[in-house]
Each structure stands twice: as structure tokens, then as C-alpha cells.
Amino acid sequence: MRPPIPLLLGSALLVAQGANADALRDRANAIFKPIPEKVTEVRGQQVSEDQARLGHQLWFDPRLSRSHVISCNTCHNLSIGGSDNVTTSIGHGWQKGPRNSPTVLNAVFNAAQFWDGRAKDLQEQAKGPVQASVEMNNSPERVVQTLKSIPQYAEAFAQAFPNDKDPVSFDNMAYALEAFEVGLITPNAPFDRYLAGDDAALDEQQKKGLALFMDTGCTACHNGVNLGGQNYFPFGVVKRPGADILPESDKGRFAVTNTASDEYVFRAAPLRNVALTPPYFHSGEVWELEQAVAIMGDSQLGRELNATEVSSITAFLHSLTGDQPQVAYPILPPSTATTPKPE
Amino acid sequence: MRPPIPLLLGSALLVAQGANADALRDRANAIFKPIPEKVTEVRGQQVSEDQARLGHQLWFDPRLSRSHVISCNTCHNLSIGGSDNVTTSIGHGWQKGPRNSPTVLNAVFNAAQFWDGRAKDLQEQAKGPVQASVEMNNSPERVVQTLKSIPQYAEAFAQAFPNDKDPVSFDNMAYALEAFEVGLITPNAPFDRYLAGDDAALDEQQKKGLALFMDTGCTACHNGVNLGGQNYFPFGVVKRPGADILPESDKGRFAVTNTASDEYVFRAAPLRNVALTPPYFHSGEVWELEQAVAIMGDSQLGRELNATEVSSITAFLHSLTGDQPQVAYPILPPSTATTPKPE
């Protein structure tokens, strides 16, 4: 009887592939971390269900804006990847914001918030757009007046912050929003299943893309649980992109630190769900993920990636799309006669 | 043994009240109808779950608008009574619409849609705002191009309209929206429970208000399941309100029929959930329900209602708030390279 040679050969090949596969995964596991199933803590403190529930209502409440038309969800839309998929957000009076809206999904894993990291956490971040004249155009006083005018909100704040003498505050509004936002995570992406040992979760092109992503040095900035969001780097480490993509007027983190070396420095974009959140970069002028990958190779690594490499890395980036948070569209408590009118 | 007179007296009183209560309810049941538990039909045809599910996604999809920022829900917000609670809606380019946004809740029970009834049903209605230059500012061609560029939408349309050769159409988009909207009803209002025999569902003031609502003739226009929405009447039957409330330039149904007698004629506003949907009238210039009631008495009935009467009728109107529809915030299929960009 002839031994089944093709089968033996096949087995040998599988063993070799298995070893390579494990090596790739081991390398990846040393650089990246999976999204956990659940986050219920803020800075080491457990958030309460009452806080998260209140934050859920506030998140969708357009009355946080002066016009009563714009909510947090307008620019961080949970149905389309936690961002708004326009170049830069449209705010009060149809003004266009200066930078592309970052996704709220997994934002809890970022070291700081905004493209320039000017808010140290989500509570601080939440206060920004509410007051920004080009966004929600409201004031803390008017927001508090609005919330206090609505009895069910007053009750919900008292329940969410039982130890506060004056629970309806701008700080607590922001904390409640943060308590909701920490739940907006996207576990179970193909890449996370791969990290956990499921070899079939990525296809061959995606594995090539993962290897390239590590080999070419993308991981110098894009690592950890969020593949970015942890540190600051100049856009154009090697070669500065054109003014269409990197407008001269926006000097990034320089505006926060006033330090010359921070000119055109931005927080490395977190890449989770990046396939869902075009257009790309802080200027939001690049719509194709492939083009964004090529620009990064050129400007950050000084390497002209070929079409196959770009496709492989892009395929890998698609594996970062996780389970999107399922939330109810909340019923909001009605305004009263003393609620400030929209302007 | 002395008979327990006070108790007997009490019983007699209860019997008398009972008879009055039944008489009031009988009168009410002859004029109004409760909201049913469920509606799943459109013009006698059962809508499919696939159609309603697709409509649910389209309802929240901002890509139906040219800017990719405005969805149906922007102006008919399901978290605040199916309307937007601003004077007139803010649309493309921050333009203000000409009339206050009517609620989508229970709109299926209206004889026709829009303040002037120019759309015969919800499918026809849905096509209006998508194309209106001051609202979503889109075109049917561009909407269809957008939907066809998204494979999951193409599949969902094929599933929802299995007998259509070209299922992704503007007509089918509107039909799917209608299929979702027929489910946006609010049963179980205190008033409906009262109509069904629960005497405690309305308090004494609300019952007085109900009696007044019928006695003074409000029911001439506001009757049936939606307490309105069935027919057209001049605003100012008896006395025309001021130009702030009834602007001269908006001649109402005249624009639809071109008939002199239709000048300043509008569809009687349906009053379900009216407490949730300020501001009032087509001009949206009246924020207090009490004031709206007083104006109606004056302009439509020629009767100056006193403060007690206004309060009672207003209390009754509050009993028309039913269970708000609980819907999920849907996850939308992502755009592709061929999806038209926001403008």
C-alpha cells in the first residue's frame, strides 16, 4: 500500500503554517490588546446604572444645545460608527467645525480626548462641544437652567448623584455622559477573536496586512487596545502631507502646550472601527481608507507602500470593526414652561 | 338599630356619580375612539417585518439628506413626542422651514398628511422632506444612487420588496418608511383607559375638561381616534388671530386647492400627545398649551374661556399622552466608495 503522500505533505505544510500563525499571533499579542467585554469603571470608580441611564438620555437630548436641534449623537452618531462621516461637523447655524469628529466608540481607552488631547478624560471632553460656539453653542448656566426646569431630570440627577447637595450641575451632566460613554465599546472584532486564538477570524490577506502593519512600523504609534490614542506624534514625521490634508493654520497640539516641538503634532488616531469612520485625518479630507494608509506610509514611515501592501493593510484594518453597541432610542422627559426656549 | 345613614347617603351619591360618569363616557365614546394596540396595515395591505425593519433604518439614516446630517428623525424626533419642539424646523444650511413640524406619532390615523393635507398618505408624505430644499435638500436620483451604493441596503430592499425587479427605488424607500411609521402609535393614554371603562384614569379636573371640550364644540373639529386630523377648517372660523400666529403669507390649503374658500384653511391638528409637542399651530409661535386652548376658544368658537375652563381643558389634553414607541437606535450599513459624498 502506498502511503498517502499528498496528505502527509499537506500535514507538514499545516504544521509549518501553524507555527508561523502562532508566531504572528504572539507578536500581535505583545503589541495589541483586545477590547474587553464590558467597561463599567471611570478612573477606578464604578459608575452606577443610574448615572449611565441618565447619560444615555443626555446623550440623545438636543436640548443640551442652544438650538434644541443638536445632541451629542449628532456628531458622534452611534448608528454609523460613533462619528458623523462628514469632513468636519456641522454645528450651530450650520457652521463647520475645524476638525473631523472623532468616534466616541472605545474612546474610554484613549489616554486623552480630542485630536490634540486637550481634555484629560471623557468628562472634561463632554463639556467642550456643549459650549463651543460652532457646535452646540450653549453655556453651562443655560444647560443647568434647562435641566433644572425638567422635573424628571432633577429626579434623575438626584438619583444618580445621591450625595450631592446640588446634583443638577454641569460637572454631573458631563460625568453622566462619561458614565454612558464608557459602555460604548465594540468587543468581538475579528482581530480580537484572532488575538484570542481563532485563526480563522482573519483571512490570509488580513494576516499579511497585520504582519506588514507590524513590520513597517505602523505600530510605533498605533498599538495597544485602541491601536492608537495613547500618544502624540507629528503628522509628517518623515514628509509633510499637502495643505489640503494638513492645513497650515491648524497646528494641532501646539495650541495646547504652546511648545514649538508640538507644531502639527496630533494624538495618534485610534484605529478601532476605522473602516466605519471616513473621512480620515483631522482635516477629514481623505475618504478612502486605502488612500489614508498610503499617506501614512509616505508621511510617517517614508515608505511608498505598493498597491498590494496598501490593500493588505486596509484589509487588516477592516478586521478592527467590532460589535456595535446596541442602545435604545430613549424617551426624554418633556420641557416645561420654564425651560429656556431654543434660539 | 339605626341604619348607617351616612353610608347610605354615600352610596346614593356614588350611584349618582356613577350614572353621570357613565353618561360622560358614553358621550365621549360616541365622539372619540381609542388608539389600537397595534397597526400593521397600510391601506388595507399588511406590511411585512422586512419592510418595517428597513423603514426603521431609513428613518434614522442621515444619508437620505444631501448633507448627510439630517434624518427623518431630526424633525420628527421619537424621543420628544415625534416632533422637534422648535418653532419651525431647521433644515439644510440652517434654513428655517415655513411651518411647525407635525408629530409622526399616530400620523397613520390622519386622513391626509401635512398641515394642508397635500399628501394623501405617509408614503407620499415621506417623499416631501427628502426633496424640500429647506429640509433634506436631496433628489430622488441621488437618494437611490446612495442606497444602491450600499450593498446591505440593496439586499434589504430586495428582501422587503421581493416581487420588484428594481427594488431600490424612491417609491419603495417611502413605502418602507411608511411601514415603519404605522407602528409609531401611542396606545394606553389615560384617556383611552377612561374610554375603556377605567373611571380613575382621569381625575376630576380632566373629566370637567373633557365635558367642556365636548360642550363648547371643540369636538366639531377635534374628534375621532386622533382628536383631529380628519378634516379641514379655517383658522379663525369666528375671529382671525394676529399675524404672529396666523401669518398672512401662509394661506394654508389654498396652495393645494387654489380655491378661494380654502384661504387660511388647515387640517384640524390631531391632539394626541399634544402636551409633548409644543410649540403650537402651524406657525409654532405659541409655547403654552393653555394659551393655545384660549386662542382656539377665541378664534374658532367665539368664546372667551375663563382661566378655570382653560385649565380643565388643558388638563384633559394632558390625558392624551400615550405610551411612547420604544425603538432601538439602529446600526446602519456603512457607505462605500461609490456612495455620493455629503454636500
Q: pLDDT tens digit string along A274-309? A: 999 999 999 999 999 999 999 999 999 999 999 999
Do B91 and A94 contact (CB within 8 A), yes or no?
no
Q: Can you read off the three cell numbers belonging to residue A281? A: 485625518
Distance CA B266, CA A331 (A): 30
User: How many CB atoms are located within 10 Å of the residue B6 CB?
Assistant: 8
CB atoms within 10 A of CB A201: 18
The answer on pLDDT for A320 being more than 80 is yes
**Is residue A271 predicted with pLDDT exceeding 80?**
yes
State residue B6's pLDDT score.
45
**Residue-level pLDDT at B34:** 98
Rounded to whole angstroms, the Cα distance separating B81 from A62 reads 13
Mean pLDDT of the region A324-335: 98
What's the average model confidence in pLDDT over B278-305? 96
Residue A261: predicted pLDDT: 93
On whether any CB of chain A is under 8 Å from the CB of B181, the answer is no
* Residue (of B79, B106, B101) closest to B186 by Cα position: B106
Cβ count near B297 (within 10 Å): 22
Tens-place pLDDT, residues B194-215: 999 999 999 999 999 999 999 9
Q: What pLDDT is attached to residue B7?
A: 45
Output the CA angle B118-B123-B127, nearest 5 degrees.
70
pLDDT band at A3 (very low <50, low <70, confident <90, very high): very low
The verdict on B169 touching A (C-beta cutoff 8 Å) is no
pLDDT at B5: 45
Minimum distance, in Å, between the CA of residue B12 and any CA atom of chain A: 41
Q: pLDDT at residue A183 above 50? A: yes
Start-to-end CA distance of chain B, whole Å, equals 89
Distances (CA, A) of A269 to A115, A215, A294, B241: 8, 19, 15, 57
How many whole angstroms separate alpha carbon B251 and alpha carbon B266? 9
User: How does pLDDT run across B107-149, given as a tens digit for each residue?
Assistant: 999 999 999 999 999 999 999 999 999 999 999 999 999 999 9
Predicted confidence band of residue B4 (pLDDT cuts 50, 70, 90): very low
Q: Which chain B residues touch A337 with a CB distance below 8 Å?
A: 287-288
Give the residue among B253, B234, B226 at the shortest CA–CA distance from B301: B234
- Report the percent of chain A where pLDDT is more than 70: 95
Chain A CB contacts of B335 under 8 Å are 85, 278
Categorize the per-residue pLDDT at B16 as very low, low, confident or very high, splitting at 50, 70 and 90.
Answer: low
Instruction: Give CB contacts under 8 A, 24+ apart, made by B44-48.
Output: B47/B178, B47/B179, B47/B182, B48/B160, B48/B179
Quote the longest CA-to-CA distance of chain B: 93
* B37, B49, B135, B204: the active-site residue: B135
B134 chain-A contacts, CB cut-off 8 A: none
Confidence band of A6 (pLDDT split at 50, 70, 90): very low
Question: Once rounded to an integer, what is the mean pLDDT over residues B219-238?
Answer: 95
Name the B residues in 261-300 with CB < 8 Å from any A CB: 275-276, 278, 287-288
Do the chains contact at B331 and A328, CB–CB below 8 Å? no
A68 vs B85: CB contact, 8 Å cut-off? yes
What average pLDDT does range A127-141 have in this prediction? 97
- Give residue B85's identity as a one-letter amino acid code: N
A298 vs chain B: nearest CA distance in angstroms? 22
Amino acid letter, A15: V
Flag whether pLDDT at A4 surpasses 50. no
At B304, the pLDDT band (50, 70, 90 cuts) reads: very high
Rounded to an integer, what distance in angstroms lies between the CA atom of residue A114 and that of residue A75? 13
Structure-model confidence comparison of residues A12 and A259, the more confident one: A259
Q: Do A68 and B87 touch (CB under 8 A)?
A: no
Residue with cell 373611571: B199
Q: Which residues in A lie closer than 8 A to residue B320 (C-beta atoms)?
A: none
Q: How far is B10 from chain A (nearest CA, A)?
A: 38
The mean pLDDT of chain A is: 94
Torsion of CA B252, B258, B260, B264, to 10 degrees: 0
Contact assignment for B288 to A78 by CB distance below 8 Å? no
Q: How crowded is residue B288: how many other Cβ atoms within 10 Å of its Cβ?
A: 14
The pLDDT assigned to B20 comes to 79
> In which element (H, E) is residue A73 found?
helix A72-75
pLDDT tens sequence across A47-100? 999 999 999 999 999 999 999 999 999 999 999 999 999 999 999 999 999 999
Query: What are the cell numbers at A120?
Result: 484629560
Instruction: Report the pLDDT value the prediction gives residue A16, as an integer from 0 to 100.
Output: 52
Whether residues A78 and B329 touch (CB distance < 8 A) is answered with yes
Q: Is the dihedral of CA B59, B62, B63, B64 positive or negative?
A: positive
For residue A252, which of A118, A119, A120 has the smallest C-alpha distance? A118
Q: Which residue has the cell 450600499?
A: B150
The pLDDT of residue A20 is 79
Q: Model pTM?
A: 0.94
Contact list, A96 vs chain B (CB under 8 Å): none
Mutate to test the interface with B, among A84, A85, A290 (most CBs of B within 10 A): A85
CA distance B75 to A342: 14
B2 lies within 8 A of chain A by CB: no
Residue to test with chain B: of A77, A273, A287, A338, most B Cβ within 10 A: A77
Rounded CA separation B38/B125 (Å): 21
How high is the pLDDT of residue A10? 44
Q: Which residues of B touch A85 (CB under 8 A)?
A: 68, 335, 342
Nearest to B327 among A275, A276, A329 (CB): A329
Question: Which residues of A form the catalytic set?
Answer: 135
Dist CA B98 CA B127 (whole Å): 17
Helix/strand/coil for B266: strand
pLDDT at B17: 62
User: Residue B278 pLDDT more than 80?
Assistant: yes
Give the pLDDT confidence score for residue A17 in this predicted structure: 62
